[in-house]
A = this chain, B = another copy of it.
Amino acid sequence: MSNESNWVTPDNVGLLTDLYELTMLQAFWEAGMHGEAVFTTFVRRLPRDRNYLLAAGLDDALAALEALRFTTDSLDYLATLPQFRPAFLEWLAEWRFEGDVYAVPEGTPVFANEPILEVVAPIAQAQLPETVIMNQLHYQTLVATKGARVVHAAKGRKVVDFGLRRIHGYDAGIKSARAFYIAGVDATSNVLAGRLYGIPVAGTMAHSFVQAYDHEIDAFRAFARLYPGTTLLVDTYDTLEGVRRAVEVARELAPDSVIGAIRLDSGDLADLARRARAILDDAGFPEIRIFASGGLDEYEVAALVDAGAPIDAFGVGTAMGVSADAPSLDIAYKLTEYGGRGRIKLSPGKAILPGRKQVFRLEDAEGRAVRDIIARWDEDLPGRPLLEKVMERGRRLDPGRSGLEAARARARLEISRLPDHIQSIGAASEPYPVEVSAELRAMSQAVARTARD
C-alpha cells in the first residue's frame, strides 16, 4: 500500500479538478464553442463577525494557471473513464491557459460581491481552472482574514503561527504561513514556509523535551545553554514552579546566556502571566518576556490584552489555521460574460453581476476608505480602482506591486485605512458601504430580462 505518488505536483495538478470541468470542456470542444468568456470570483456574503476579507492567494492561483497541463499519465487515466473521446484527449494534451487575468492585489481588503479576480479567455480555457483558482484564493483569503483579526487583537504584541500540525493537510500548512505573513503575523514555526517564502521562523520547546529529562531544571539548563535567548516552556508539571526553575537557570548562566522568555501553554493565562511576571521581576529579570499559547484565537487574545495581562507575544495555532469560527467562505467563480453578452443566473440567493467589472474605492482627504462602488470595467468613476491586469495571454505581469513583502505592506496600510468599526473583530453595527453603479445595475436588469428562456 505504498503511496509515493500521493503528492500534488505540477505533473498532476491538471487532474486536481472537478470531473464536470472536464466533461463541460469536452462539450464545449464538441460544440465548437471557443468564444471569449469572463468568469468572476467573489464572495457572496461575509461570515458572521467578519467586517472585511483580506484578499490573498493570487500568486498561487496564477502559478496554477501557469502549471496546468495534462501529462501522459493524466491523459492515460482520463482515457480509462467512459466520458472521454480520444480526439478530445489529444486536444487536451495541448491545452494551455493563454488568457488574461485581472485581480485585486494580495493584501487588499475586499467586501461581499466585489470581484477579487476575473478571467478573460476562450471558454474552454477559462472554465477548467475554476477548481484550483477557488481552492487557492478561498483558503488564503480565509486565513489571511483570520490572521489579520488576531494581529488586530494583539495590539502590537508579537504573533507567531503555530498551526501546521492541525491545519488541513500539507499544502494549507505552507499556504497558511504565507497568508498569515501577508496579514501581519510576525513569524511561523513552519520551517518549510521559511525556506519557500523567506518568512521568519520561530519556535520554543515542547513538553516532550522537558519530560525526556528526569528533572525539569536539567532540561531548561541544556536548552538555554545551547540556545541563548531561547524560550522555556514552564507548564509541564507546575507552572509557577517552572518559572522559578527558569529563574534559577537564568541566575546560573548569567551573564553568559540570557533566557529570552518563558512560555505559558495551559491554565488561566492572565492570572499565570501576572504571577510569573512578579516572580521574574522580583528575581531581577524584568527583561525575560512572557509568551502565551494554548488554544488561542482573536477573541481570547483580545480578552488577555484588554485585561492587561503582562503577555509580550502570542503563539496562535489551530484556531487561526482552520479559521475555526468561520472555516469557509461562500466564494464563487461564475460565468458573467460569453460571446460578448453578459451572463447571469437567477438561483435564489445566488444572483450574480454580469460582465467584466471594476471596483472603485472612495477615500476621504485623509485616505480613509469611505465606500466602494462595483462598476462595469470600462466606467470612469471617482475613487481608486482595485482590480489590475495581472496576467496577459497566459503570462504573468509584474507591475512592481507583487511580492510577499509588498502584499504585507499593502495589507498593513489598507487595513489601517478602513473605518475603525470595520477593522474591529466584532460584527460592525453598520457594514462597510458597497454600491453597484447605475450602469452596472442597468446592464444587470437588461441581461435578466432576456435570461429566463
| Interface membership of A426, Cβ < 8 A | no
Report B-chain residues with C-beta under 8 Å of the C-beta of A23. Answer: 203, 205, 223, 226-227, 230
Q: How many copies of this chain does the complex contain?
A: 2
Verify A170–B266 contact, CB threshold 8 A: no
Task: Provide the bound-state CA to CA distance between A335 and B173, in Å.
Answer: 24
Select A135's contact among B77, B170, B211, B348, beta carbons within 8 Å: B170
Task: Provide the bound-state CA to CA distance between A166 and B135, in Å.
Answer: 5
Verify B16–A164 contact, CB threshold 8 A: yes
Query: Quick one: which of A331-390 are within 8 Å of B by CB?
Result: 331, 333-335, 338, 341, 343-350
| Interface membership of A453, Cβ < 8 A | yes
| Interface membership of A192, Cβ < 8 A | yes
Choose among A59, A67, A453 the residue with the greatest number of B CB atoms under 10 Å from its CB: A453
Verify A19–B63 contact, CB threshold 8 A: no
Verify A15–B205 contact, CB threshold 8 A: no
Choose among A19, A22, A83, A214 the residue with the greatest number of B CB atoms under 10 Å from its CB: A19
Report B-chain residues with C-beta under 8 Å of the C-beta of A324. Answer: 327-328
Task: Provide the bound-state CA to CA distance between A189 and B208, in Å.
Answer: 41
Verify A451–B237 contact, CB threshold 8 A: yes
Instruction: In the complex, identify which listed stretch (A6-14, A95-103, A252-260, A303-311) lies at the interface while the others stay far away.
Output: A6-14
Verify B205–A266 contact, CB threshold 8 A: no
Choose among A31, A37, A208 the residue with the greatest number of B CB atoms under 10 Å from its CB: A208
Closest to A452 in B: B237
Verify B168–A172 contact, CB threshold 8 A: yes
Task: Provide the bound-state CA to CA distance between A349 and B222, in Å.
Answer: 27
Task: Provide the bound-state CA to CA distance between A226 and B32, in Å.
Answer: 13
| Interface membership of A408, Cβ < 8 A | no
6 intermolecular pairs with C-beta atoms under 8 Å apart: A2-B63, A18-B162, A23-B226, A77-B195, A135-B170, A168-B171
6 nearest A-B residue pairs (beta carbon)? A19-B203, A169-B171, A169-B172, A20-B203, A208-B335, A168-B168
